Amino acid sequence: MRNALMALAIVVLTTLSSFAQTAAPAKPGTANTSSSQPTAIIDTTAGKMTCTLFPDKAPIGVANFIGLSSGTKDWKTPTGATKHGVPLYDGTIFHRVIPQFMIQGGDPAGSGSGPDPVKAFKNETSPGLLFDKPGRLAYANAGPNTNTSQFFITEVAFTGQQGQMLNGNYTIFGQCDEASVALVKQIAAMSRDSNDRPYRPIKINHITIQKAGGATKAAGTPAKKPATAPTTK
């Protein structure tokens, strides 16, 4: 997990008892199913997650996610090799899972640390778009404006101190539906080591992007070079 998000994880774990007593009840994580917004279908070895994307709220973040999911955006391996036409997320794992918090993935190295596969881009936050419901799809970062490929999906709603640490500091670019939140809870509860890495990580098979109106975003052309695993900070 990227450093700033790790700090929040520590706060969540150490204050979970009091938070459970004071936080507002979590509302079902339902996605906006409007045909005017694209949808990401995240096919994993544990099941599928359906998340509506918010290009009106996070146009840079959504374009980045779609490009990396479909292989239309180039990215670099840790050795500096450029991958073209290769979906970055295929075969990656959820390398960090924390119950009552979130699951994180999107690092081809499966470690959450190392050189970034794409150029970092700025945070995109909106006052009315908060981590106040489960199923928020957001970018992990190592501080302001350091978003790249790693993302996380929240399991619960956050208010109080936890909400303050998340809101305005992380780019929310989508909302996953209620069934997806149930799957997130299942993955977050997996047995894990002291670094919150699952002993048997769930893998992302492929992310399919359905364009606004229901059309599916085609995958990119086959890779010309063997893929290796980039990491992030």
pLDDT, tens digit (0-9, with 9 covering 90-100), for 83-94: 999 999 999 999
Instruction: Report the pLDDT averaged over residues 109-134.
Output: 93
CA angle 74, 219, 39 (to 5 degrees): 100
Let me know: does 96 contact 5? Beta carbons within 8 Å: no
**DSSP of 163-200:** HHHHTTTS-EEEEE-HHHHHHHHHHHTS-B-TTS-BSS
Strands 204-210, 151-154: pairing is unpaired
Read off the pLDDT of residues 94-119 as tens digits, 9 standing for 90 and up: 999 999 999 999 998 899 987 899 99
Instruction: Report the pLDDT averaged over residues 112-131.
Output: 93
Q: Which residue has the higher pLDDT, 14 or 185?
A: 185
Let me know: does 112 contact 95? Beta carbons within 8 Å: yes
Read off the pLDDT of residues 29-45 as tens digits, 9 standing for 90 and up: 344 445 689 999 999 99
Task: Report which residue type is found at 100.
Answer: Q
For 194-209, b/e burial (b = at least 16 CB within 10 A) is eebbbeebbbbeebbb
| Pairwise CA distance, residues 231 & 14, whole Å | 28
Instruction: Report the pLDDT averaged over residues 67-93.
Output: 94
Q: Spell out the domains of the chain, with CATH numbers in brackets.
A: 3-13+36-210 (2.40.100.10)
| Pairwise CA distance, residues 26 & 100, whole Å | 11
Task: Report which residue type is found at 129.
Answer: L
Q: How many helices (H) and strands (E) does the chain have?
A: 5, 10
CA-based nearest residue to 43, from 216, 226, 163: 216
Q: Which residue has the higher pLDDT, 225 or 200?
A: 200
Tokens of 63: 């374009």
Q: Which helix (H) or strand (E) holds 207?
A: strand 204-210
Strand runs labelled E in 39-194: 39-44, 47-53, 75-76, 82-83, 94-98, 102-105, 136-139, 151-154, 172-176
pLDDT of residue 108: 85
| Pairwise CA distance, residues 111 & 213, whole Å | 36
Q: Is 5 helix (H, G, I), strand (E, B) or coil?
A: helix
